[in-house]
Amino acid sequence: MDELKVSNDTSLFEVPAVLDDTGRLTDSCVRQALTMMDTHGLVLLTNLLSDEEADVGLELMRQTIDDPNRSRSSFASETDNHYVRRDFCSLPSSAPVIRFAATLCQRLEGVYSEYCGRSRSLLEVATFTSYFGSSHQYIHRDPAGVISLFAAVENVSADQGGTVFIPGTHMYGGAGNKHGGRANALMELFRLQCNYRIFRHNLKKLWLMRKDKASLAPGEFVDRVFSKKWDQHQPNLLRFVLGKNSQFSLRMLGPRTLWKLYRHREALNDLFSLVQAAPRKGTVILYRSDLLHAGPDNRSTHPRRIFGMSFARDIIDAKFWHDGYSPHPTLSAHPMSLGDLLDSSPLPGPSRTLNQHPSTLVE
């Protein structure tokens, strides 16, 4: 995107995954990953899954996406979901899905166990697909107190829209003391500056799509730009002017704020930067849910698919849970914890998955 300066170099946040005899990350890997999570709020573990294991995950996701009765997730942008710009849906707690999720949990046990006890809830297992023309989400924080995972089950290019993060903006006791005690105010200013650019980018893109009539569905332009419907991640002018978008609206741009944005413009660009992941197949991203981030738009004609899973770090109120995460009805009916997944059977070892067609794993 022209308006937003984003680096595609994630090497500072990467740890190559090395597994021990039990299929878990080695102690050294765990230590490096924890340092990244604590310092930057995220870590990218490259090659955590073999190609064959990633293929199993992709096949499970395809089965869900192709199911007309799939359970659609109710967060992100409802308008994008409606116009099939995105397709976010939860995966059922079937034996194959649990095996795939258990493999990830067991491999990452050393990292998870630092943040979540065994009894902590599995909030959702999901697949996030975005298509050409989706909106770039505003920079936001997910509900706090959650460790979220994205697994790339196929290569994701920068144009397809790997997640954008602002490293080091996660919250913890005393985080506000950073940057001379002004960290919270500066982070909010930087978020505002980014969201102004994202707003312009989304509007500009929709305007160009409008000229090319084939790329917008009937009514889509009005729904994304002038609708009264709640949607936090569209460049909706009406809700922007009325102050009805909690992510970005006109009422956030008072004269004092504009002055601060101008006064601190250099400090903001020195202190914070955006980095966009373009994970290779088999890479797993772990991040603290309150790290500033956004799901970008897909600027390619190839769908971007990613597997996602989240665990609570503490007890969690049901309303708070369902406001931010979408458990599949089968998971709501039979809740699972981190311990349940650590005790579940994983996928067969890499040598046994070789040459085994994914469909033979589906029950």
Interface residues with Fe ion (CB under 5 A) are 142
Nearer to Fe ion, 109 or 142 (CB): 142
Element (H, E) at 71: strand 71-72
Nearer to Fe ion, 142 or 223 (CB): 142
Nearer to Fe ion, 53 or 142 (CB): 142
Rounded to 5 degrees, φ, ψ at 148 are -110, 150
Whether 41 and 287 have beta carbons less than 8 Å apart is answered as: yes
Q: Cβ of residue 307: shortest distance to Fe ion, in angstroms?
A: 15
Q: Cβ of residue 293: shortest distance to Fe ion, in angstroms?
A: 6
For residue 65, count other CB atoms closer than 10 A to its CB: 14
d(CA 37, CA 16) in angstroms, rounded, equals: 15
Nearer to Fe ion, 88 or 100 (CB): 88
Q: What is the DSSP letter of 25?
A: B
Rounded to 5 degrees, φ, ψ at 101 are -65, -40
Whether 347 and 99 have beta carbons less than 8 Å apart is answered as: yes
| CA angle, 321 then 327 then 330, to 5° | 135
Measured at CB, which residue is nearest to Fe ion?
142
Q: Cβ of residue 142: shortest distance to Fe ion, in angstroms?
A: 4
Q: Cβ of residue 63: shortest distance to Fe ion, in angstroms?
A: 25
Q: Cβ of residue 47: shortest distance to Fe ion, in angstroms?
A: 25
User: Buried (b) or exposed (e) across 112-141, using 16+ Cβ within 10 A?
Assistant: beebbeeebbbbbbbbbbbbbbbbbbbbbb
Q: What is the DSSP letter of 216?
A: S
Nearer to Fe ion, 191 or 264 (CB): 191
Nearer to Fe ion, 56 or 89 (CB): 89
Nearer to Fe ion, 142 or 340 (CB): 142
Q: Cβ of residue 336: shortest distance to Fe ion, in angstroms?
A: 22
C-alpha distance across the termini of the chain, in Å = 43
Q: Cβ of residue 148: shortest distance to Fe ion, in angstroms?
A: 8
